[in-house]
Amino acid sequence: MTARHLFVLAILLSPLALAQAQNAVAAEICLAPTNVEAAVGDSKAAATAVQDSFTSFLKGPTLGVRPLSAPLESQVRQEAKAADCRYLLFTKVSHLRKQKNKLNPALAGAMHQGAWMAAGQAGGGTAAIAAYAAAGAASATAAELASSTQDKDQMTLAYRLEAADGTVVIDKSGKRKAEADGEDLLTPLVRQASEAVAAAVQ
């Protein structure tokens, strides 16, 4: 094959390569503000922790997240439309307390750190790197939320993913119960939800 043929082939393939590159990064997900149904402590902090965690997990070569700010569902849909996102993700969290215990702040921090270490160790070296990388932005807010968790607390995370035309792609929820004071209930729930969302948009 001559140099001229190679040049022509490169020109012909360039639009295809460009289209593939655009498709690879086109799965941008608009993230609606989290609805806090019930919370232990500051509901605003709970909403921020959910937002930060999803934003931290849903990023990569073929994923992107755009947090939205409109508080009403009707307005957030308009905001997502204006942002030209392919998907819109709604989340709702509730944190219920079954009984009252005295929280040990030191234990809370240790439990939060242990949750991240366990997440990384479960999948070996690569998973550990991914877990610690994802922990970056979300770590502080998730730790703050975990510090208010007491034994027997229950957290439920509901999430609904919609396509740009309003079609419901995913509508699920997850639930966890604390086995100790300071346990990080949010991170495993968001990780599970993020895996489902990532699989659905690929």
Token pair listed for 192: 């599970």
Q: Which CATH class is domain 3-201?
A: alpha beta
**Which of the residue ranges 96-105, 153-162, 177-186 would you say has the lowest mean pLDDT?**
96-105
Residue 55: CA count within 13 A, CB half-sphere = 20
Per-residue pLDDT for 160 more than 80? yes
Distance of CA 43 to the CA centre of its chain: 18
Confidence of residue 138 (pLDDT cuts 50, 70, 90): low
Number of neighbours of residue 81 by Cβ within 10 angstroms: 12
Q: How far apart are CA 138 and CA 100, in angstroms?
A: 27
The pLDDT of residue 137 is: 46
Residue 100: CA count within 13 A, CB half-sphere = 1
Per-residue pLDDT for 128 more than 50? no
Per-residue pLDDT for 8 more than 70? no
Average pLDDT over every residue of 183-201? 96
Confidence of residue 98 (pLDDT cuts 50, 70, 90): confident
Residue that wins the pLDDT comparison between 158 and 139: 158
**Which of the residue ranges 14-18, 93-97, 143-147 would you say has the lowest mean pLDDT?**
14-18
Per-residue pLDDT for 146 more than 80? yes
Number of neighbours of residue 170 by Cβ within 10 angstroms: 16
Highest mean pLDDT (candidates 50-54, 98-102, 148-152): 50-54
137, 56 contact by CB (below 8 A): yes
| Domain residue extents for the chain | 3-201
Strands (E), 44-167: 64-67, 87-96, 154-163
Burial (0-12, 13-18, 19+ Cβ within 10 Å), 105 = exposed
Residue 16: CA count within 13 A, CB half-sphere = 5
Mean pLDDT, the chain, integer: 78
The pLDDT of residue 144 is: 82
The pLDDT of residue 139 is: 64
Name the amino acid, one letter, at 192: Q
Confidence of residue 123 (pLDDT cuts 50, 70, 90): very low
Per-residue pLDDT for 18 more than 90? no
Sign of the Cα torsion 129, 116, 69, 197 reads positive
146, 178 contact by CB (below 8 A): no
Average pLDDT over every residue of 123-151? 62
Average pLDDT over every residue of 86-107? 76
Average pLDDT over every residue of 32-36? 96
Token pair listed for 50: 């959910």
Confidence of residue 120 (pLDDT cuts 50, 70, 90): very low
126, 31 contact by CB (below 8 A): no
